[in-house]
Structure 1
Amino acid sequence: MPVSRRSFLAAAGGFGALLTLAACGASTPSAVVTTERTPTASAGPWTFTDDRGKKVELPRRPTRIVAQVGSAAALWDFGIRPVAVFGPHKLKDGGRDPQVGNVDITKVAGLGNVWDEFNVEQYIALQPQLLVSSMYVKGTLWYVPEKSKDTIEQVAPTAGIMLTGQSASQVIGKYAELARSLGADLDAPEVSSAKARFEAATAELTKIAATGLKVLMMSGGPDTMWVVNPPEYPDIMHLTQSGLDVVTPDKVDEGGFFQSLSWENADRYDADVILYDSRSQALKLDEMLKKPTFAKLPAVKAGQVYPWKAEAPFSYQGYADYLEELVADLKKAHALP
């Protein structure tokens, strides 16, 4: 039976599928904690047009915002403090999942931590004024369960930000637009500084790209090596638009996000550098090195294998951190014979 793009993403490892990350359960209901940076409601009406083309209109600026963790991480860096999050935010040891970025998970309620988990009763009790989530499929809000979608959308207006087919700079710009409408100061020193770092790191990346490095970006599973398809990933689109030569698979799986290869075919594509998915659901580097065909790849033998932070927050700060680390790694690499 053909799989939908949504179920493909959830089952095959694309963007937060959490194939092996154990569930921690939803956070217990708690008092909503906001901070001094949370904007107050405006006196006049509030409008925002999301990437579904949907115009959200409210009599005043919303302040009680619930967001999927990726959206929460982006908004947090712009100064907007959601009252609750849903999606992977807490690790088994109680620590903060990298996907939630700088969000202080002790100061927000948690409505769900794994796929298809969303505490609707707690959501209603929070009296939300807006729900924000990213979208990989237009019209489908990421981590909003299909079974409770209709109820959730009746409680408060929703806004969706499209990721697929967009570059990171476009997605960051859309989150910046949303944050500004919610009362964020985009000229705040921390935002301006992060934007300058983002631009400087992008310029450095362009210089590195001019050296001709060929890069393979991939994720590993027990029996499968997934070669990612650059146009489907905002961060990789940013890299290719900066001039970096990233391998594009000659045939992609249903869903379009990557090509599945057996580990016996790990040498299908030549590359000077390999960037591997460093999320918790993917195989660790030491596990992949046990695969003989992977260990024999020229880039691996040359030690030119570096982590790929596949879910950096879509903010200037999130991408400045991501790109600065990537630039530092790529500066250590060279073209192979």
Structure 2
Amino acid sequence: MPKSRAAHLSRRGVLAAGGVLGLGAVLAACGDGDTKKDSGNGSADNAKKGPWTFKDDRGTTVSTKAVPKNIVAFTGTAAALHDFGVPVKGVFGPTKLPDGKPDVQAGSLDISKVEILGNVWGEFNVEKYAALRPEVLITNMWIKDQLWFVPDESKDKILKLAPSVALWAADTTIPKVIQRHAELAESLGADPKAKNVADAKARFEKAAARLRSAAKANPGLKVLIGSGSADLFYVSAAKPGADTRYFQELGLTFVEPKVNAQGFFEELSWENVGKYKADIIMLDNRTGTLQANDLKGKPTWNQLPAVKAGQVIPRVTEPIFSYDKCAPILEDLAAAVEKAKKVS
């Protein structure tokens, strides 16, 4: 599970929390979506007619009278749909940094052209959502039936406004998740044979082969998946993450922590951060987590063999599940493994 949110989960014990604004008269305004064409990246066939049906990863079959055009999605999911050629009207989740630049999870989205309904954990503006006249809401799942970044306290009101689609992001692998996003995008009018998609897929497959070869050539390396906060260091298990499970399938060996009851990670105090030895540390790269430069003030961090060897690399903890965005992740990891030395 993503660590910047996992810190909240460990304290709250739930996947979503936060305040909610009353719907008031805005609820009555919800109706059929605007049919104005949005060009996106040019691949989606916005003239495609309905009815539309899609079976999501909850096993829920979602149906509408026409192919949805007013789409609202979790930011990372919206970014993946964009790469496949499907535009969205609104997003929720980390989208804009304090300086106005796009968050890493926004990918290639033009964040000036989408309505941002919530930018932080627990934030979702229900009135703005209703005003978009949404036809479908799309997000990920890390735990069954828990819709990522849809706050528990307002989810009933949110889910009354439009049907929802949820795609697995845990306990699976990157290729499988990408394929599901591709299937969803195609159902929404995207061209599965578009050149940009085909080229990105070929790059992804080449990068996967490179990582497999690098892992085979360096069988003794051990990788630790970590995320830093002021008080705790989180060490993740590999299997729950679609990215790290796939890296494991490609041959990498990961530290296996004693995970908590939620099954995703182990919390370590900074005094105990050296509990596990590793040659490479993959460090959560998202906004809200401490990065390698931020951790220089932690003496125990500086004593870790991987840190001393300069073998700390970013982990894209919440990947954008498109071939275009996942190929560079594989390439960068392969390069790191190729040049890494055994230090633990």
Normalised by the length of structure 1, the TM-score is 0.88
Aligned with residue 219 of structure 1, among 218, 227, 231 = 227
1:286 aligns with 2:293: yes
State the SS of the aligned residue for 1:307.
strand
Contact 1:33 1:107 (8 Å CA) reproduced: no
- Which letter does structure 1 place at the counterpart of 2:246? H
Matching of residues 35-74 of structure 1 within 5 Å: 35=39, 37=42, 38-74=44-80
Q: What is the percent sequence identity of the aligned residues?
A: 45
Structure 1: tracts of 5 or more residues without a match: 1-6, 18-30
1:14-59 deviation per Cα after TM superposition (whole angstroms, max 9, x unaligned) = 9xx9xxxxxxxxxxxxx99822624224334211000110001112
1:116 aligns with 2:122: yes
**What displacement does 1:281 show?**
1.3
Aligned with residue 262 of structure 1, among 269, 272, 279 = 269
State the SS of the aligned residue for 2:111.
coil
1:163 aligns with 2:169: yes
**What displacement does 1:235 show?**
0.7
- Which letter does structure 2 place at the counterpart of 1:322? I
1:108-166 deviation per Cα after TM superposition (whole angstroms, max 9, x unaligned) = 11111112221212211211111101111211211112222122111111100111211
Partner of 1:10: 8
**Structure 1 residues 91 and 306 mapped into 2: Cα distance closer, same or farther (>3 Å)?**
same
Contact 1:8 1:255 (8 Å CA) reproduced: no
- Which letter does structure 2 place at the counterpart of 1:269? Y
How many residues are matched?
315
1: distance between equivalents of 2:222 and 2:6? 28
Aligned with residue 240 of structure 2, among 232, 247, 251 = 232
Partner of 1:295: 302
1:328 aligns with 2:328: no
Matching of residues 139-218 of structure 1 within 5 Å: 139-210=145-216, 211-212=218-219, 213-218=221-226
Normalised by the length of structure 2, the TM-score is 0.86
Q: Which runs of 4+ in 1 moved over 4 A?
A: none
1:105 aligns with 2:74: no
1:252 aligns with 2:271: no
Contact 1:41 1:62 (8 Å CA) reproduced: no
Contact 2:215 2:337 (8 Å CA) reproduced: no
Structure 2: tracts of 5 or more residues without a match: 16-33
State the SS of the aligned residue for 1:91.
coil
2: distance between equivalents of 1:130 and 1:166? 24
Contact 2:50 2:64 (8 Å CA) reproduced: no
State the SS of the aligned residue for 2:102.
coil
Aligned with residue 312 of structure 2, among 294, 305, 328 = 305
Contact 1:41 1:60 (8 Å CA) reproduced: no
**Structure 1 residues 46 and 33 mapped into 2: Cα distance closer, same or farther (>3 Å)?**
closer
1: distance between equivalents of 2:77 and 2:322? 10
**What displacement does 1:311 show?**
1.9
